[in-house]
Structure 1
Amino acid sequence: MDETLKTKAKTGIAGMDDVLAGGFTRGHVFLLEGSPGTGKTTVALQFLVEGAALGERCLYISLSETREELCESAESHGMEIGDEIEIFELVPPESLLDADQQQSLLYSSDLELGETTKLIFESFERVRPQRVVIDSLSEIRLLAQSSLRYRRQILALKHFFSGSGATVLLLDDMTSDNLDKTVHSVVHGVIHLEQLARNYGPERRRLRVLKYRGQAFRGGYHDFIIKTGGVAVFPRLRAIEHKTSFARTVLKSGIKEFDELLGGGIERGSSTLLIGPAGTGKTLFALQFVDAAVKRGERAAIFIFDEELGLLFARTKSMGLDLQKMSDDGMIHIEQLDAAELSPGEFAQRVRERVADYDAKTVVLDSVNGYHEAMPEENALILHMHELLQYLNRQGANTFLTVAQHGLVGDMKSPVDVTYLADTVILLRYFEAQGMVRRAVSVIKKRTGKHEETIREYKITDDGLTLGQPLTGFQGILRGVPTLVNENKPLLLQGEREDGDHS
């Protein structure tokens, strides 16, 4: 066999080639199925355009769309159908649309099916292509009128193409009432595209490889989108495939009292969850580590789901964190995301690109609440989060997640429990004391070393975060209403006098 036939025929879609372990095995017949609107024609066009770019002859046999429609579809994505791509329209002659000209005896299903097959073979012999697309099998299924004749027709197509060395992609829009799955057992591989309608926001598309003979592939569902330029596939992330070596050093936040609470700091390549009600400063605590990373000369990536970037830049600059300057200097990548427009696979791909291409060593996801809204199934969210955190940890990146709890004081509820996924969990709380609403911070979990078991009060001022000494004279702080148990341990920040002034 020629050496070129042993290689894979790339699809022209990087993510799909990753899922297929390089592309389609040359010289075989594959099935691409999905309901109308899932992107089959776009994938087929990209497959042929990729072949044309490699100098291969390509043939698109259309049983449903006209040449003009296919060219318009290609042009809308910026694709050019050149001389290497032959489009053969296999549509009924205009006389068949005239009731006076129709003759049931002359145009019986037997004759139509036989003529259709003959025209397909003749067009192939004329062009002798290396890549072929037949769109679609639904028309052949309707002409066959029975499962037996349909299966025989597919077998005839397969046997004809198998000896030609061409890579063939059959499209099926699955619109027939009787969906015959026998073609699955005939073809070399099957890719299924589907489109899911959500309660709000755009539809979500995903694909799955149902079958690929003699070839390992990336199983499961993979998100994809159709955008200007074609289809983009986001392969399911498997953290086990991405492992690097790095020194597990201890990283500090830049606030002495906060680092003491953390037992000296956090370990490189770990994840930290900041959890608490709205307004407690979860984002500010995470950005403190971003500022420390930038001062060390490291890059950071910040993904914001909930807050408008202009407002975030303004309020943090007044506290001494100039995110705009960090961004202008190329030290941070900050991106505002719309949960209603994003799939988990696309988000994971964006994070991976920031770590792999931008070399971000600190990643902030603010917040998991917004990320959760992009996922209709909570169980799938946990699995996505687990793989993403494991991937970031293996890359030596530090991840900071924020979760806004429901409620303000007392019993709190979280929309999703991800505390067991994080290596470090920092709990933020409101509490009432001396007629004032105050804030308290504590570390309730740290896998990578010891930490203080105390609770410290903190304040958010124009100078940023200020933490006090451990609060040892009170109990019930996490319930929101503490009681005094030691009159010698007043509830004050470090350096604060009883009259409320600062020394």
Structure 2
Amino acid sequence: MDDSTVMPRYARTGVSGLDDILVGGLSRGNLFLLEGSPGTGKTTIALSFLKAGAELGEPCLYITLSETTTELRNGALSHGWRLGPEINIFEVSPSESLLDADQQQTLLYSSDLELGETTRLILGEFERVKPKRVVIDSLSEIRLLAQSSLRYRRQILAFKHYFAGRDATVLMLDDLTSDAADKTVHSVAHGVIKLEELSPQYGAERRRLKVLKYRGQHFRGGYHDFAIRRGGVAVFPRLIAGEHRTSFARTQMTSDVTELDALLGGGVEQGSSTLILGPAGTGKSLFAIQFIAAAVRRGEKAAFFVFDEELGLLFDRVRAMGMDLEAMRDAGSLHVEQVDAAELSPGEFAHRVRESVDRARAKTVVIDSLNGYQAAMPEENALVLHVHELLQFLNRQGANTFLTVAQHGLVGDMKAPVDVTYLADTVILLRYFEALGRVRRAVSVIKKRTGAHEESIREFGIGSAGLTLGEPLEDFQGVLRGVPTFVGKSTPLLTPKPTNKG
């Protein structure tokens, strides 16, 4: 046989990300179960599966026991799809004789007759179409007709052997409305995919899927976020940093602010992560943007994900300091994105960050802030694991990552909403302090894994020229507590200037 006529081993689902999780797709000639409560996206995935087959010229059959043909076609149109002649829709409706009270038999339950009639209709249509891909929607109807678990299991087994003998790949949908606890098909099916919908107390619903079983096939375990949008389902495979290793030269990346680079021992090492901690208004965003501007001046690409501030206000604010983010974006050097925490799942956010590195080739990535990232997953218990995988991935791609975290409080003892200081390679600490009747700002580096750094504390100011750092505050004690004690003979403080909140 000519190699060009050999069918691929896997039937791709046509769903972005799902084939990646299944490591190729659905193995041909087998029966698979797609289960989930109503509204989780089963029909959309099933139609995508058939569309992918139709694009290869394969005859496809959608057997519906719960929806009408009109409903299915309208559902497809809502995604911009027009189902071609390769996709046959067969609507199974009860025989009129079974609905006629005068013709109903008394010696047999009507469900016995209906199950046999339904099976005959399904197999008859299969023989007519001779499809390579089949969808049966839904198993709840067959389960109700079978009445007992034994008859239901035997019916599914009969379908499995029948379709396998004709080399058809079958996707059975189960909406779990008749008996959510019934796992009969799990042991029969070659693979099982479960869809779930979560409803947080605030914000849009969150959807996720998990491959429960796939005989003889490796797959990506765990939960994976997905979304239903016009155009179909988009699945965001769980990020596994260990699968993304690259080689690159670990050079020092500077901020172009001499005093800040000195504080950092020359800069930050490429492929490392930096955490910028401080109370509200100290200038965390500005410190991160300073590294973005330096990267763009070097001819590199950068990505900026903003959770906490409206972009128009941010652009105007930093433009007054001599950094035009809008111009960088328009020139293609900067990918900047406003992130709505109430509408985004952690998996989708990680996917967007990954795309900025894979496609846009960003070498500097800023997430502002981790507080907003945490708000995107209010009921998520694995925030630190999400951050760990994301930072590991970015580090292994040679990207410099900057995370900002707003601490609770203004002076004195302050706490962060989540402690990720041990994950970051470098930690920059910003503080307010009072001296000579003025509120001032101080910066220090309290951790750097990748080399030496200054142990000093420097005052910094924010003005029309952006960041300005002073000499080390050697004549003060207690700066980090907010109310220092002057112990020197001079006051090496910055000249007060009009400041902009950073």
Question: TM-score by structure 2 length?
Answer: 0.96
**Does the residue aligned with 1:341 lie in a helix, a strand or coil?**
coil
**Does the residue aligned with 2:17 lie in a helix, a strand or coil?**
helix
Q: CA deviation at 1:367?
A: 0.5
**Does the residue aligned with 1:340 lie in a helix, a strand or coil?**
coil
- Over 3 Å counting, the alpha-carbon distance change for 1:36 and 1:491 in structure 2 is same
1:155 aligned residue:
157
Residue 278 (str. 1) matches residue 288 (str. 2): no
Distance (Å, rounded) in 1 between the aligned partners of 2:431 and 2:100? 77
- Over 3 Å counting, the alpha-carbon distance change for 1:257 and 1:104 in structure 2 is farther
Distance (Å, rounded) in 1 between the aligned partners of 2:386 and 2:98? 53
Q: Letter of the aligned partner of 1:158 in structure 2?
A: K
How many aligned positions are there?
A: 496
Q: Letter of the aligned partner of 2:164 in structure 1?
A: S
Distance (Å, rounded) in 1 between the aligned partners of 2:179 and 2:297? 64
Distance (Å, rounded) in 2 between the aligned partners of 1:261 and 1:145? 74
Alignment of 1:36-47 (within 5 A): 36-47=38-49
Task: Report if the CA contact (8 A) 1:5-1:26 is conserved.
Answer: no
Pick the aligned partner of 2:140 from 127, 138, 141: 138
Distance (Å, rounded) in 1 between the aligned partners of 2:106 and 2:316? 76
Percent of residue pairs identical: 72
1:266 aligned residue:
268
**Does the residue aligned with 2:453 lie in a helix, a strand or coil?**
coil
2:393 aligned residue:
391
Task: Report if the CA contact (8 A) 1:62-1:89 is conserved.
Answer: yes
1:490 aligned residue:
491
1:174 aligned residue:
176
Alignment of 1:84-483 (within 5 A): 84-93=86-95, 108-177=110-179, 179-377=181-379, 379-483=381-485
- Over 3 Å counting, the alpha-carbon distance change for 1:104 and 1:273 in structure 2 is farther
Q: CA deviation at 1:473?
A: 1.0
- Over 3 Å counting, the alpha-carbon distance change for 1:368 and 1:216 in structure 2 is same
Task: Report if the CA contact (8 A) 2:98-2:114 is conserved.
Answer: no
Distance (Å, rounded) in 2 between the aligned partners of 1:191 and 1:312? 43
Task: Report if the CA contact (8 A) 2:463-2:497 is conserved.
Answer: no
1:176-211 Cα distance to aligned partner (Å, 9 max, x none): 146320210111000000000000011000000000
Q: Could you tell me which runs of 5 or more consecutive residues in structure 2 were left unpaired when the two chains were aligned.
A: none
Distance (Å, rounded) in 2 between the aligned partners of 1:60 and 1:89? 8
- Over 3 Å counting, the alpha-carbon distance change for 1:489 and 1:99 in structure 2 is farther
Q: CA deviation at 1:413?
A: 1.5
1:343-396 Cα distance to aligned partner (Å, 9 max, x none): 011111111111111111100100011010111345411111111111110110
Pick the aligned partner of 2:37 from 35, 38, 54: 35
Distance (Å, rounded) in 2 between the aligned partners of 1:178 and 1:286? 49
Task: Report if the CA contact (8 A) 1:472-1:489 is conserved.
Answer: no
Q: CA deviation at 1:99?
A: 6.3
Q: CA deviation at 1:342?
A: 0.2
State the superposition RMSD in angstroms.
1.7
Distance (Å, rounded) in 2 between the aligned partners of 1:200 and 1:325? 35
Q: CA deviation at 1:5?
A: 5.0
1:260-290 Cα distance to aligned partner (Å, 9 max, x none): 1001110001010001001000000000000
Question: TM-score by structure 1 length?
Answer: 0.96
Q: Structure 1 segments of 4 or more deviating over 6 A?
A: 98-101
Distance (Å, rounded) in 2 between the aligned partners of 1:378 and 1:156? 42
1:450-491 Cα distance to aligned partner (Å, 9 max, x none): 0011100000111111100001111111111101122x2424
1:63 aligned residue:
65
**Does the residue aligned with 1:254 lie in a helix, a strand or coil?**
coil
Distance (Å, rounded) in 2 between the aligned partners of 1:94 and 1:197? 41
1:20 aligned residue:
22
Distance (Å, rounded) in 2 between the aligned partners of 1:416 and 1:103? 68
Task: Report if the CA contact (8 A) 1:49-1:80 is conserved.
Answer: no
Task: Report if the CA contact (8 A) 1:457-1:470 is conserved.
Answer: yes
Task: Report if the CA contact (8 A) 2:458-2:470 is conserved.
Answer: yes
Q: Could you tell me which runs of 5 or more consecutive residues in structure 1 were left unpaired when the two chains were aligned.
A: none
Q: Letter of the aligned partner of 1:424 in structure 2?
A: T
- Over 3 Å counting, the alpha-carbon distance change for 1:99 and 1:463 in structure 2 is farther
- Over 3 Å counting, the alpha-carbon distance change for 1:151 and 1:460 in structure 2 is same
Q: CA deviation at 1:102?
A: 5.7
**More divergent stretch after superposition (369-378 vs 393-402):** 369-378
**Does the residue aligned with 2:382 lie in a helix, a strand or coil?**
helix
Task: Report if the CA contact (8 A) 1:5-1:165 is conserved.
Answer: no
Distance (Å, rounded) in 1 between the aligned partners of 2:257 and 2:101? 85
